[in-house]
Amino acid sequence: MSYHRGSSSGHPQSHHTTWGLASAPPTMSSAPPSASPFSPSYHSSRPARNISEIIPRLYISDLAFAENPALLMSYRITHILSTMPDTIFRPPPSLLPVQPIRMQIRVDDLPFAELAEHLPHTTEFIRAALDSHPEARVLVHCAEGVSRSVSVVAAYLMAQFGYTPIEALAYIKGRRRVANPNFGFVKQLHEYARNALGRPIPDPVLPAFSP
């Protein structure tokens, strides 16, 4: 299935977008990603959060995968984008002979953490990496592969394929069931769409909850 945007309709102009990823659009696969049998979490009772291929050669993972030299080699990861403030373990050449090209943005997983200012740079990093060689493979990770990394990959899909923020996030969730960025990051994706991509879309609004 193509990962280009499936609809040619324009962006909504007069209605707020209701934020929710309970289900992906019908054209998107809702099957959860398969866990690698080499993952430390493969036999655990927790949902698989190790790695998911979102589009060909672009992956999202948790921190444990990103620090594991055997797994990085098995997936032939050539570029790593870390989206967390902590120091990331970088396996030495004795464990990982081919060292990935790296970028790190230091962002906490908090609704008011500044993410939007980084998105043009992370999008360019992903684009340049994928364009650098047909065998390049890009891994984007945070601590759990749920919020920060998902938001960064969503921004790339928005820039590259014309998705709205909600479409991009739903597309990712169809390939990574645990994807669930905090609402502040969702709002910043809308800001990114307007300010960096020039798309006049409104902010999302939280769905109403009954008391």
Report in angstroms the alpha-carbon separations of 32 from 23, 173, 181: 12, 8, 17
Q: List per-block mean pLDDT (blocks of 10 residues) for the chain, which spans 211 residues.
A: 42 38 38 36 44 97 95 96 95 96 97 97 98 97 97 98 96 96 96 94 69 49
What was the pLDDT predicted at 201? 87
Question: What is the dihedral sign for C-alpha 92, 109, 116, 131?
Answer: positive
Nearest alpha carbon to residue 56 among 97, 3, 17, 102:
3
CA distance 135 to 139: 13
Dig out the tokens for 79 from the structure: 């570029």
- How many Å from the N-terminal Cα to the C-terminal Cα in the chain? 41
Residues classed as catalytic: 142
Nearest alpha carbon to residue 63 among 73, 45, 51:
51
Q: Domain spans of the chain?
A: 34-198
Report yes or no: 72 and 97 within 8 Å, Cβ to Cβ: no
Does the predicted model carry a pTM greater than 0.85? no
Question: Hey, what CATH class is 34-198 in?
Answer: alpha beta
